[in-house]
Amino acid sequence: MICPCKKGETSVVDSRPTEDGTAIRRRRLCTTCGERFTTFERIQIRELVIVKKNGRKSPFDREKLSKSIYIALKKRPIDTDTVEKFITKISNSLEEIGQSEISSSTIGTMVMDGLKNLDPVAYVRFASVYRNFREEKDFVQFVDKIDVFKKR
């Protein structure tokens, strides 16, 4: 594994199972710059392809999924371990579908369902992008329909 400095090789200084045993977390040390960083190793059963709404296809990118979830959860009181388990659960669910092509709407629905239970604010944040609200009234109508905030 090459260091982010792109100048040196790395050595593993610590390795342990994580995410309920579905991944290996490795702490690495660069032999050139001395920086430490973390990598994750996960099982990938098949190459998943995401079919977008416009019909375009692209390979499933766990990092892209992770980034969108972390953006929705920004400044929310959810710990990183919980978020990583949530992302792993979605990734595993996609693998378990048993198809190599999955629609982007399937993933969006899975994320929204999970965020609804995890954090209501993140749920609304994600929905505002996923559902592509154009005007304030779209947002208000969506929030009025959900019961997440009525429980509080």
pLDDT recorded at residue 151: 54
Q: Are strands 101-103 and 49-51 parallel, antiparallel or unpaired?
A: parallel
The confidence band for 29, taking pLDDT boundaries of 50, 70 and 90, is very high
| Percent helix, percent strand, percent coil in the chain, to nearest 5 | 40, 25, 35
The pTM (predicted TM-score) of the whole model is: 0.68
The DSSP code for 135 is: S
CA dihedral 94, 85, 22, 105 (to 10 degrees): 10
Task: Give the ranges where the chain is alpha helix by DSSP (H).
Answer: 62-72, 80-96, 104-118, 120-130, 136-145
pLDDT recorded at residue 18: 81
Q: Are strands 101-103 and 57-59 parallel, antiparallel or unpaired?
A: unpaired
pLDDT recorded at residue 71: 95
Mean pLDDT of the chain: 87
Gap between the Cα atoms of 8 and 28, Å rounded: 12
* pLDDT exceeds 90 at position 6: no
For residue range 115-141, list pLDDT tens digits in order: 999 998 999 889 888 877 778 888 788
pLDDT recorded at residue 143: 78
Gap between the Cα atoms of 68 and 90, Å rounded: 13
User: Who wins on pLDDT, 101 or 19?
Assistant: 101
Q: Are 142 and 98 in contact (CB under 8 A)?
A: no
User: Who wins on pLDDT, 38 or 8?
Assistant: 38
The CA-atom distances, in angstroms, between 152 and each of 77, 123, 147, 148, 149 are 16, 15, 10, 8, 6
For residue range 82-116, list pLDDT tens digits in order: 998 999 899 989 988 888 899 999 999 999 999 99
